[in-house]
Structure formats: C-alpha cells, structure tokens
Amino acid sequence: MSENDQPQAENEETVVEEVESTEPQATEGEAAEAELPKLLEDARAKADEHWDMYMRGQAELDNVRRRAERDVQNAHKFGIEKLINELLPIMDSMELGLAAVSSDDEATKQLVEGMELTLKMFQDAFGKFGVTVLDPQGEAFNPEFHQAMSMQETPDMEPNTVMAVMQKGYVLNDRLIRPAMVMVSKAAG
C-alpha cells in the first residue's frame, strides 16, 4: 500500500464507523419520537394533578376564610354571654328583693324606687346587647325555652300551659342563655 492509500483506508474506516454510529441514532430518534406521546401524556397527567391540588388548596383556603369570618361574627354576637350569665343572679336578686318589700311604707319608698331604677337600667343595658327576657306566664310549654319544675292538675287551664314562672329565662341574639323555670298544667286525672 502506498502512503496515499493508507489515509484513504483510515478515512473509509472512519466513514464506516460514522455510518454505523448514525444508524443506532436513527433508531434512538425513532424511539424518542415514539416516546413523545407518552411523555406528553405524562406531562398532562402531572399538570392535571397539580391543577387539582391547586383547586383543592383554593377551596380549603376559601373554607378557612369563611369559617374565620363566621367565628368573628359569633364572637361579636355572643362574646358577652359569660358576663350576662354572671349578671343574671344579680338581676334575679333585685327582682326578688323588690317583690319582698312593701312600697306602701314611706321609710322604704325611696329605697324601692332606687332599686326599681337600677333594675330598669340593667334591663335597658341587656336590651342594648340583644338580651331578651323569657317570661312565659300563660303561654304553651316549649321545651326548647322552658324547663318544667313541676306539673299540677288544674281545670282552669289547658294542659301543657305555663301556670307559674319561678325564674325568668333569657335569650342572647336568639341563643338560649338560661331556660325559664316554670310550673306546667296538666289535664285533670
């Protein structure tokens, strides 16, 4: 072989190697093209999964926001419930004291007037904060708002009617704070 032939032989070997190396690349390209739809579908599935996670997160955030707003509204509405419960026995005592004192006596007349004014101030303050009194005398018995202390037969009243109120009940913004303790009529036996 001559010197000119030798580089040409090397060039032919290089060309054969390049051709052989391009053939597998062509099959890899075909394989890559065949995998593209699968990769695209996988990417779409992941995108759908992430979109679903995002939407669930948004829904959870909306729920938390609404729950917080409702809790704040309830705190504004019913935040004074403990205070009202502490003041109710004072109001009851004042009412019992007024019922026990005779207003005919001149010596106690001013004391009775002062107690009546104080009791009225209490009632007005309760009214400002949405507290209403349950005094169901003569009404039908309602177990949601009344607590029956006893039942008594009476021909004068319909059965299940409140005959007497032993202790008034109270409601704060349509929520029962304390049921009215009552005596209920029952049909004659």
Pair (67, 109) in one structural domain:
no
Domain end position, chosen among 78, 97, 112: 78
Total-model pTM: 0.62
Nearest CA to 91 out of 35, 34, 168 is that of 168
Domain end position, chosen among 78, 110, 135: 78
Pair (39, 100) in one structural domain:
no
Other CB atoms within 10 A of residue 101 CB: 14
Q: In the beta sheet, which residues pair with residue 133? A: 170
pLDDT of residue 13: 59
Domain end position, chosen among 78, 94, 128: 78
Q: In the beta sheet, which residues pair with residue 76? A: none
Question: Can you tell me which residue has the tokens 């990417």?
Answer: 43
Pair (122, 35) in one structural domain:
no
| Residue 71 belongs to domain spanning | 1-78
Pair (3, 70) in one structural domain:
yes
Overall size of the chain counted in residues: 189
pLDDT of residue 33: 78
Pair (131, 181) in one structural domain:
yes
Pair (149, 96) in one structural domain:
yes
The Cα–Cα gap between 150 and 157 comes to 15
The Cα–Cα gap between 155 and 152 comes to 10
Pair (90, 137) in one structural domain:
yes
pLDDT along the chain (189 residues), means of 10: 54 53 57 82 94 95 94 85 91 90 78 90 92 92 93 87 93 92 86
Number of folded domains that form the chain: 2
Pair (177, 108) in one structural domain:
yes
